[in-house]
Amino acid sequence: MSPGPDSSRETLRIGVVSETYPPEINGVANTMRHLVEGLARRGHAVQLVRPRQPAERWTGRIAVGSVGVEQTLVPGVPIPGYRGLRFGLPVFWRLRGLWRLRPPDVLYIATQGPLGHAALAAARLRGIPTVTGFHTQFHQYSRHYGLGLLTGPIVRTLRHFHNRSDATLAPTKELEAELTAQGFANVHLFGRGVDVGLFSPARRAPALRAAWGCGAQDLVVLHVGRVAAEKNLDLARETFEAIESACPGARFVVVGDGPALAHLQRDHPRFVCTGSQVGEALAAHYASGDLFLFPSLTETFGNVVPEAMASALPVVAFDYAAAHAAIVSGVNGVTVSPGDRPGFVAAAVRIAQDRPGLRALGAEARRTAEGMSWERVLGGVEDRLLEVVRRRGIGGTHETVAGAAE
């Protein structure tokens, strides 16, 4: 290790392995982008290993300001039922060769698919310190796809995977404690930040609201996320219908794609379904709403919560994950006890009828989001990676690890 741009900070060669990354649209991909780009800006030499996306031909350096990130693309296959997402194939021998001459000082493995398992095995063979991320509640998802009996075996499989690494990072203190109680070892916090420059109330777009059939005084109720069973969208629908009864003329806007989208459009043609949105278009959708419903109970974090808050959009959510970490109920949003469906509906109807109260909650939500800096979050991850390397007594020089085209 050697001094970086800040002489008080050591720099590392860091490998990041993820089975999802932009242009894929999901919370894990977004978090990995912030991690990769943030570590590179801090002077670390970062190598990204991820599946090749359809029609993708190029591999090499990704520009991040004045620095670059090496990437290695590996073969992938589509995930059934998850359009646009892919598993990386278990390319153990390729990773073993990639890290033979120039191994990273430390490896961060974000996903537990075939690529993640292969990366962990290759890293252990090469003696590379590894940190794994707990980004997805696979054991919770199983209950929504008729696989409830597999919950226990899935937890055991995840625990075996993560406990073979030097440390596991979880997005909330709540999940950190839960995993530790379930026998996961060396669990630490990897919180989440939000880009308050991108997600801002300044992006409110009257023309977009007009396209939804809404005027300046009409109430727009928003949901952003994957349109799938595990997101508890039946409760979102039920809640909006109760709001609509109390606030005639209200409009429900659903932003996202997924296996339940066609069903939702067929059964509820009056709902506005915009499909997936990214970047400034997504930010305009958030800012053009008035109330955000987030009924999911399967999140490891829920990046949409701070994104909505940064957009001055009051959030109604169950009191766990991102909502538990960021929302003070009645001050900058509203939370109810997890699983309390009648309480969720009643809370949403109550605040939907109070337009001055909605604006006050939204303003305070924005102030809260302004304190959720990605820089502070990434500083904590950087410290954890350095700690793992020091504990192993392994160091390297600051040189970029070479990526290779498949």
Q: Is residue 130 part of a domain?
A: yes
Instruction: Tell me how many domains the chain contains.
Output: 2
What is the pTM for the complete model shown? Answer: 0.83
Q: Is residue 183 part of a domain?
A: yes
124 and 228 part of one domain: no
Assign 189 a pLDDT band (cuts: 50, 70, 90).
very high
User: CA–CA separation, 200 vs 306, rounded Å?
Assistant: 11
231 and 363 part of one domain: yes
231 and 332 part of one domain: yes
Q: What is the pLDDT of residue 66?
A: 63
364 and 377 part of one domain: no
User: CA–CA separation, 117 vs 91, rounded Å?
Assistant: 9
228 and 172 part of one domain: no
DSSP states of 363-377: HHHHHHHTT--HHHH
Q: What is the pLDDT of residues 15-37, one digit of tens each?
A: 999 999 988 888 889 999 999 99
Q: What is the pLDDT of residues 273-313, one digit of tens each?
A: 999 999 999 999 999 999 999 999 988 888 999 999 999 99
pLDDT beyond 50 at 229: yes
Residue 172 DSSP label? S
Maximum CA pair distance of the chain? 67
179 and 45 part of one domain: yes
Assign 110 a pLDDT band (cuts: 50, 70, 90).
very high
Q: Is residue 402 part of a domain?
A: no
More confident position, 313 or 62: 313
314 and 167 part of one domain: no
65 and 22 part of one domain: yes
Q: What is the pLDDT of residues 340-361, one digit of tens each?
A: 999 999 999 999 999 999 999 9
Q: What is the pLDDT of residue 394?
A: 56
CA proximity to 388, closest of 155, 107, 174, 193: 107
Instruction: Classify burial at 129, counting beta carbons within 10 Å of its beta carbon; exposed 0-12, middle 13-18, buried 19 or more.
Output: buried
176 and 318 part of one domain: no
Q: How many degrees, rounded to 5, is the angle at CA 318 between CA 370 and CA 307?
A: 30
Assign 142 a pLDDT band (cuts: 50, 70, 90).
very low
Residue 62 domain boundaries = 2-193+373-392
Six-digit token pair at 46? 């970062």
- The CATH number of residue 233's host domain is 3.40.50.2000
172 and 244 part of one domain: no
Assign 397 a pLDDT band (cuts: 50, 70, 90).
very low
List beta partners, residue 47: 15, 70
Q: Is residue 357 part of a domain?
A: yes
Q: What is the pLDDT of residue 27?
A: 84
Q: Is residue 16 part of a domain?
A: yes
Strands 167-170 and 130-133: parallel
Residue 280 DSSP label? H
pLDDT beyond 70 at 365: yes
Q: Is residue 298 part of a domain?
A: yes
177 and 272 part of one domain: no
Find out whether 344 and 316 touch, Cβ atoms under 8 Å: yes
DSSP states of 94-156: HHHHHHHHS--SEEEE---SHHHHHHHHHHHHHT--EEEE----HHHHGGGGT-GGGHHHHHH
Assign 59 a pLDDT band (cuts: 50, 70, 90).
low
User: CA–CA separation, 393 vs 390, rounded Å?
Assistant: 5
How high is the mean pLDDT of the chain?
Answer: 87
Q: Is residue 397 part of a domain?
A: no
279 and 313 part of one domain: yes
pLDDT beyond 60 at 322: yes
Assign 392 a pLDDT band (cuts: 50, 70, 90).
confident
Q: Is residue 268 part of a domain?
A: yes
Find out whether 91 and 2 touch, Cβ atoms under 8 Å: no
